[in-house]
Each structure stands twice: as C-alpha cells, then as structure tokens.
Amino acid sequence: MIDDRVSKIIKPAVLAAKAYHVPDSSGLIKLDAMENPYSWPEEIKIEWSQQLQQAELNRYPDASLSELRSKLTQALNLPEKTAMMFGNGSDELIQIILMALNKTSNVVMAPEPSFVMYRLLSSMMELDFVGVPLNEDFSLNLPAMLESIAKTRPAVIFIAWPNNPTGNAFEQDSLEEIINAAPGLVVIDEAYHAFAQKSMMSCLHKYPNVLLMRTLSKLGLAGLRLGMLFGASEWISELDKLRLPYNIGSLNQLSANFIVQNISLLEQQAERIRDDREKLYDRLSNIAGVEAWKSEANFILFRVSNPGADKVHKELIKQNILIKNLQGAHPLLENCLRVTVGTPEENELFLSTLNSILLSS
C-alpha cells in the first residue's frame, strides 16, 4: 500500500519531477556522457596511488581546500582577486546558486535546448524557469533573449558555453549584450572549455554580475566530481555559506591536487579528442541521411531521418554502443542524437554500425 504521507510531506514539484535517468551501461561502449575515453599511464597511476596513502581518513577533509585553491590559481592563471568555491561536480554548484535565490526574485533563465539540470533543479526548487528557444540552427536568438530578460527580469541566467547538447559556442558579443541587459547574475558554464580552447574568464573583470563555472568531469575526471565556480568575492562568499562544509572528500582533494600538477597529461588527451572530433564530424556528415552540427565540445549532435532517433538508438544498443537519444527532449531536437568522441577505434565502430543501421532501414 502506498503511504499517503509521501504525497502530503513531499512537495508537489518533487512529486511531479522525473528523476535524472542514468542508463545502465554495463558491457556497452559508452559514448553517451561526454567522458574522456583515456585513462592514465601506469607510472602516473602508481604516483597517484602513493599520494592517496597520505590521506588521513579518520579526519574530516580540509574544509577550505586551501592547497587546491592555490594550485588552481596558478594553473588557471586566474585574474587577481577572483574568489572560488568548489562543488561535488558543477551540478552541485548549480543547485547551490538556485538555493540562494531570494523568494521574491525567483525567475531562472537559459536558452534551450541546453543542459537539463538548469531546468530540472529550478523546477524542483519551485523556481520559475524560462527557457528561451534557440534558432533552428541552434544559434542564440538574441532578440528573444533580450525581450524575455526585459519581461521576466531573471535572477539568474545560465549560459552553457559551448552549449550542451548542441556543441556550439554562442557569439561572445551576444553574450556580452545579455550580461549588460541582465538585472541579476549571469553564470557562464564552461564545462567544455578544454575542447573549445576559449574562455569568457576576462568577463569576470569586466562585469560584476558574472560567475564562471568549470568542471574537471569532461577533461578526464568524471569519477572525481569536482566543479569550480569563480567570481567576485561578494557573490562567492554568500554562495559558499550554502556549501556543506566537507563537500569535497580528502581522497578527491588529494586526487585533484595531484592531477592539477599533471594537467598537461589531460590537456594532451583533450588535444587528441579535438582532432578526433573533427574526423568524426567529417565522417558523420558524409553519411547519407545524417545531418551533423559542428561542435566545439567533445561530442557531436546529429539528426537521422530514416529510421528515427528512437530506432537508431535501440539498434546501436543492440550492437553494444550507447549514445544519447534526444528525441522528445525539446522540439528543436526532433530525431536528434548526441555521440561523445571516443577513442579512434570506438568512433570507427560507432560510424560503421550507424552506417549499417541506416543502410538496412
């Protein structure tokens, strides 16, 4: 029997929400979640595991993450006086930003389609989410954004740059117009920075209402869960009050410190992925019945017409390949799928399998 206290106690927005679905990927070639397909050379793994032995797991972790803070300031060449905070993935940082909003300023905006967590977390927190549709070619509809900003006065605007799932990075001038028009915060989410090789970091200097978010997930440490938020200390010190004091465990801190010192390894992997992305894009666009979009991230969005995305997705799984099906996610994503750039062998297998599915339909 269903306990009716559940529906009385849990808020309607949570009851109505669909849980973020993570598909079972065991035994499959995993090209659905923008992970880096490469691991580390054996000697680096040994060095890393030696570092981990320093962890004092009987103690709470360093709540201020002081070592990581100073290592990142150097490694990322952060503008002077930039404050930073860390999240258990950037998902947690998005949640913290939304949790901080004043009850009277509860509109959250993002162009759509974009990263689903902006909408999902906003609605679970009973905030008003305004999604402004992109143009059909997935470029930013600047007039619509500006009109919507003037009308709804959003407290926060999230911009994924490059955007997920479309892979493009919106025009920088348009983003600055949005920042100028915004009555509140603009969060530039640079999750795919390593693959775009450009940043809006300089906006932190120029505009007091900008925060910049990054993650180590796409660069090669999805299992670590480390998101970073940068900006003026006026904002960061308020948001940091909502962060649970020990949200980043000791093993994660040690691992992050270690990898920041070896960041060139991940940067070389990102370079390989960028090269393979271009090859994958060329090959995909040449398959009859496929429309692919150029990407500045580590994935490619593409559309299939016959058979539709649902069928292609299912057939790929039957042949042990998991990609992301975006059918139904947004009207602009009709029959669209998203494939993460894998190793050259994985990409090759994906292309030949897709080709044979399309040929046999």
Tell me, residue by residue from 111 to 150, as one string, x for binding to ligand PLP by CB under 6 A and - for no binding. ----x-----------------------------------
Site for ligand PLP in 299-318 (CB under 6 A): none
Least Å distance, CB 194 to ligand PLP, is: 13
Pairwise CA distance, residues 67 & 180, whole Å: 35
Least Å distance, CB 303 to ligand PLP, is: 19
Helix (H) or strand (E) holding 230: strand 227-231
What type of residue sits at position 331? P
Candidates 31, 34, 304, 341; binder of ligand PLP (CB under 6 A) is 34
162 cis-preceded (ω within 30 degrees of 0): yes
Using CA of residue 57, residue 264, residue 221, residue 227, what is the dihedral sign?
A: positive
Pairwise CA distance, residues 64 & 247, whole Å: 10
Q: For ligand PLP, how many residues bind (rule: CB under 6 A)?
A: 12
Q: Does 90 sit near ligand PLP (CB under 6 A)?
A: yes
Candidates 89, 113, 231, 342; binder of ligand PLP (CB under 6 A) is 89
Pairwise CA distance, residues 30 & 323, whole Å: 7
**Nearest in space to 287 (alpha carbons), one of 239, 336, 354:** 354
Q: What are phi and psi of 167, to 5 degrees?
A: 85, -10
Site for ligand PLP in 218-277 (CB under 6 A): 227
Site for ligand PLP in 161-220 (CB under 6 A): 164, 189, 191, 215, 217
Least Å distance, CB 123 to ligand PLP, is: 17
Nearby residues of 245 by Cβ (< 8 Å), 6 or more positions away: 60, 63
Q: Which residue is nearest to ligand PLP (CB)?
A: 89
Q: What are phi and psi of 27, to 5 degrees?
A: 80, 0
Determine contact, residues 260/302, Cβ cutoff 8 Å. no
Q: Does 36 sit near ligand PLP (CB under 6 A)?
A: no
Q: Does 95 sit near ligand PLP (CB under 6 A)?
A: no
> 134 or 357: whose CB is closer to ligand PLP?
134
Q: For binding to ligand PLP (CB under 6 A), which residues are involved?
A: 34, 89-91, 115, 160, 164, 189, 191, 215, 217, 227
